[in-house]
Amino acid sequence: MANPRGREAGSPLPDSGGASLSRRTVLLGAGALAAGAVVAEPIRALAAGLANPDGPKSWADPKVPELTHHVVETNGIGMHLVEQGSGPLVILLHGFPECWYSWRHQLTMLAEAGFRAVAPDLRGYGQSDCLQDGGKYTILDYIGDVVGLVDTSHVEQAVIAGHDFGATIAWQAALMRPDRFRAVIGLSAPFRPRGFGTSVLPTTVMPQNDKAVYYQLYLATPEAEIGMEQNRRQTLRSLFFHMSGEGLRAADPAAADLEPGMIQRRGAVLADDPPLPGWITTAELDVYVEEFTRSGFHGPLSWYRNIDRSWELLGVTQGAAVTIPALYMAGDRDFVVAANREFIPQQAKLVPKLHRPLILPGCGHWTQQERATDVGAAMIDFLQKL
């Protein structure tokens, strides 16, 4: 589904060129992604009645006047973001399947603590541009978008925070551009060398068998997109419940023997209609349904289709360390934590300024939503000590 703003963007990314490239080349190259945007080529919006591409670039949120919406040009795309507060800049990157709204609680908490909090819709999501070219969703595309966002904010540096795949983007942006990011906060996904923590193409070592497949392999398939588009409300409701602490406590005994992150090949994947977990209301779910009705799932799922390409592009970062202050938070019931258990205690080796990790009891995957107050308080404490 095309984005309502109807823009194609981004120049083809260069190959990593192998590990012979210097760290300086990596840093300069990442900056060029933001500064060297090409002329955008329009694409046709496929749905009627969506946003006017010639509409306002900034507007107040009619439901929450404290929030200001903007559409900015960065790295050749139009990026929608929501902002609250003034002071040092903190950029908040969402995961899948979310949007800026997943940070709704922390936006206010950070603003009240004296920070300028900005939560964008990442490319392919919500009101940001959704590119038809599925190859334009590599990790360097996302990093270029966020570096460009710092430029549009008229500041030299920001703190970058991310959840889920947004944390992967945040970790690697912090590693590649310490000149633009002065600290990093990762939720759910820990820091992993070369983004994905493997020495070979990541998808070649993701587990699968006759009964189940690793979730990232499944999300890269056409079947995943078709299935999720059939009933967006049911898709989102199911994911929010089953991947939360509440859902994991009520897990189907038939799936108990599956390794973390595995999805049954046959059965009721995303086909049930569970209750809403306690941390999200029907009205809040409606916001997500509206945003994914606007964008569709093509852009969001394209991250998973580019995992191997992203790993190749990060080859020049092999062995490099995150040199800025860092904080890691996750729920003890998060399947991502279970699937990456080996990387969490190893983070300090390549993140020397990492603060003591915060593991939240009873919390599942949706960290900043399930434990909104705890996450906001920990972020503020970390930021105030920088």
- What is the set of active-site residues? 164, 365
The per-residue DSSP string of 23-43 comes to HHHHHHHHHHHHH-PPPPEE-
On the CB side of 159, CA atoms within 13 Å amount to 23
Whether 82 contacts 91, CB under 8 Å? no
d(CA 124, CA 225): 13
346 to 8, 190, 192: CA distances (angstroms): 40, 9, 9
Dihedral sign for Cα atoms in the order 365, 133, 46, 61: positive
Return the DSSP state at 254.
G
Instruction: Return the residue matching tokens 């984005």.
Output: 3
d(CA 11, CA 231): 34
d(CA 374, CA 366): 13
d(CA 200, CA 22): 21
d(CA 194, CA 202): 10
Measured torsion, CA atoms of residues 101, 102, 103, 109, in degrees rounded to the nearest 10:
100
CB count within 10 Å of CB 141 equals 28
Torsion angles phi and psi, residue 153, rounded to 5: -85, -5
Identify the CA nearest to 208 among candidates 165, 293, 265, 129. 265
d(CA 30, CA 145): 10
Residue type, 54: D
Residue type, 247: G
Return the DSSP state at 183.
E
